[in-house]
Structure 1
Amino acid sequence: MTMAQSVLKQNTDIFPVPEKGYKKMIIEVPHSKNDDNKKIEFNVGKWMEVDGCNHFSLQGTLEKKDLQGWGYDYYVFKTNGNVVSTQMGCPDAPNRHLFVSAQPEMVRYNGRLPIVIYVPDEYEVQFKIYKAEEDVYVAAEERVKKK
């Protein structure tokens, strides 16, 4: 896992102060001429000790909000901490330390603006950057035989 830098290049003071029990998480990525060919997927979650075979998912909601007067968006994640999982029996599988997250959110890559996410204090945000190929492909047309 690659750790993001903790030095902010953008001033985020225009965004609201976190509510009590929440913290402000910032995703900043470098600007490039290919920003339009990229997407960012982020997950809110926390590290947990879980069994060795089931799949786990954090329950919660991610709300997109508008920063009034600025035209920027930010996100607020709310959860009661409940985790759902599959229920397979795996008595011989050792426990594992796993980042258990809610549904991922896919957003536009923008190297000029930070992505601001408010999460409960005990949670964190992980993200991936997806890059599209430069090649453009054309779909095939289905041809129906005439009777």
Structure 2
Amino acid sequence: MSIAPIGIAAASLLALSAPAFAQSAATDLKAFPAAEAGMVRHVITLPAKQNEEDLRVEILPGKMLEVDCNRVMIAAKAETKTVDGWGYDYLTIGKVSPPATTLMACPDNAKTERFVTANIGAESLRRYNSKLPLVIYAPEDLVVKYRIWRADSELSEATSE
């Protein structure tokens, strides 16, 4: 008896079980901690796409605010953590600053309601992965939205100077 067929059979078994494991992790959130008091767990489950390595997910936490013509900004502290024993990453959005605005004199005092995003820096851009959910813990007063970014297939070359 040769070892090669056993190795091939083992590799085939792993290949068959890996997608099933990844799919169960995407639908089973038991590995992730429950939300702490004052926090909400937001989950983004992404559909499978071709060339997922060319995609990124931008996390946009924010609030609906009544604003005038001034630019409104919110800052928040975000941190990536890992579930012990599982290796799954999740994002925790912590301290959120009160809204700050520019001080332009608006021609009219009209105010409109608008979604104002909180700047969480580099933590906002995540890898696209349809096999695992994106889990975000955020304060109760924040809404978490997201958008998908796609890489352009056309490459440009830098000039040498």
TM-score range, shorter chain: 0.7 to 0.9
2:127 alignment counterpart: 108
Structure 2 contact 77–96 (Cα < 8 Å) conserved: no
What RMSD over aligned residues (CA atoms) do the two structures have, in Å? 1.6
Q: 1:64 offset after TM fit, Å?
A: 1.0
Q: Deviations over 1:105-127 (max 9, x none)?
A: 11111111111001111211111
Kindly report structure 1 stretches of 4+ aligned residues shifted beyond 6 Å: none
Q: Deviations over 1:17-52 (max 9, x none)?
A: 00011110011111222100011111111111112x
Q: Distance in 1 between matches of 2:96 and 2:44?
A: 24
1:79 alignment counterpart: 95
- Does 2:155 correspond to 1:136? yes
What TM-score do you get using the length of structure 2 for normalisation? Answer: 0.76
Q: Distance in 2 between matches of 1:93 and 1:39?
A: 38
Aligned ranges 1:65-76 → 2 under 5 Å? 65-76=81-92
Give the number of equivalent residue pairs.
133
Q: Distance in 1 between matches of 2:110 and 2:99?
A: 19
Q: 1:135 offset after TM fit, Å?
A: 2.7
Unaligned runs of 5+ in 1: 1-8, 143-147
What TM-score do you get using the length of structure 1 for normalisation? Answer: 0.83
1:55 alignment counterpart: 71
Q: Alignment identity in percent? A: 34
**Which residue among 13, 16, 39 is the counterpart of 1:22?**
39
2:52 alignment counterpart: 35
Task: Give the letter for the 2:72 counterpart.
Answer: F
Q: 1:91 offset after TM fit, Å?
A: 4.6
Unaligned runs of 5+ in 2: 1-25
Q: Distance in 2 between matches of 1:129 and 1:93?
A: 35
Structure 2 contact 45–134 (Cα < 8 Å) conserved: yes
Greater Rg, structure 1 or structure 2? 2
Q: Distance in 2 between matches of 1:50 and 1:89?
A: 13
Q: Deviations over 1:67-108 (max 9, x none)?
A: 111111111112355111111111514101111221151111
1:118 alignment counterpart: 137
2:61 alignment counterpart: 44
Structure with more helix by fraction? 2
